[in-house]
Amino acid sequence: LYDLDDEQRLDDAIAFGASTPVLVGALWRRGRGEAVLPALDGRGVVANYLHQVTGREPDEETERALTAYLIAVMDHGFNASTFTARVIASTGADAAACLVGALGALTGPLHGGAPSRALDGLDAVATADRIEPWIRGELAAGRRLMGFGHAVYRTADPRAELMKRVALRTGGPRVELAVRFQESAERLLAEAKPGRDLHANVEFWAALVMEQCGLPRSMFTPTFAVARTIGWTAHILEQARDPKIIRPSARYVGPQVRVAA
């Protein structure tokens, strides 16, 4: 980034954004020992991504559902992965290095690695009558309910509301169970943690949407990365225009230095 002008940086950003879904889909198939599928005639990037990962040509409703997800999570302020990308960009490193650093941050279960875990609760309860006992048991054991609570939002996550509407369009027993699970979880969290105002976050309903679209759970975080690459590159371009390196200071609070007599 340090040695490139704005036009060259933008060319790199566009190339990375365009190639990421193609690479992810192809690597998924290669990793399973399957041939990479040819592009679908007249279909866009989302349909082709679903085609590579699921092996089926998606219908318009499925394509629209995943498109809504990808747009909803494209960018979200200075989250951990975005901030990582900007720190690396501030050093003048190339855009690929910035994206690799962002990907590393995204793999953490408290960040982008959580969507598949959000479904673990639904798997564990299986039926509506087991929801409340299971959640009470998790809270009593001090375990976190994946898919609930957010580092920023103290009210409902608007992205979660959007993804919930997308999931409800498809419907089915799994979605009905998720609705019941959300209602019970938010009520029991309010009882256990008064004043915290914990609600379903985007990962809870996004996981349902990706599952409905036929994506395997191991591809939830890579699919998140496909969307977030666009946001990361936008932040990288912006940061590259600032000549200052991001260098936070720290204050030492350890034992006092002892000087020998």
> What does the pLDDT look like over 191-224, one tens digit per residue?
888 878 888 888 889 999 999 999 999 999 999 9
> 136: buried, middle or exposed (CB in 10 Å: 19+, 13-18, 0-12)?
middle
Query: Rounded to whole angstroms, how far apart are CA atoms 142 and 18?
Result: 42
> What does the pLDDT look like over 69-125, one tens digit per residue?
999 999 988 999 999 999 999 999 999 999 999 999 998 887 876 677 878 889 999
Q: Is the pLDDT of residue 145 over 90?
A: no
Computed over every residue of the chain, the mean pLDDT equals 92
Single-letter amino acid, residue 259: V
User: Alpha-carbon Rg of the chain, whole angstroms?
Assistant: 21
Query: Rounded to whole angstroms, how far apart are CA atoms 87 and 102?
Result: 10
What residues are paired with 200 via a beta bridge? Answer: 148
Q: Where are the domains of the chain?
A: 6-111+217-240, 116-212
What residues are paired with 148 via a beta bridge? Answer: 200
Domain 116-212: CATH superfamily is Cytochrome P450-Terp, domain 2 (1.10.230.10)
pLDDT for the residue numbered 153: 63
Reported pTM: 0.87
Please spell the DSSP secondary structure of 51-94, one letter per residue: HHHHSSPPPHHHHHHHHHHHHHTS--SS-HHHHHHHHHHHTT--
Query: Rounded to whole angstroms, how far apart are CA atoms 186 and 202?
Result: 14
| CATH number attached to the domain at 6-111+217-240 | 1.10.580.10
Query: Rounded to whole angstroms, how far apart are CA atoms 237 and 3?
Result: 13
Instruction: Pick 116 or 130 by higher pLDDT.
Output: 130
**Catalytic residue IDs:** 150, 203
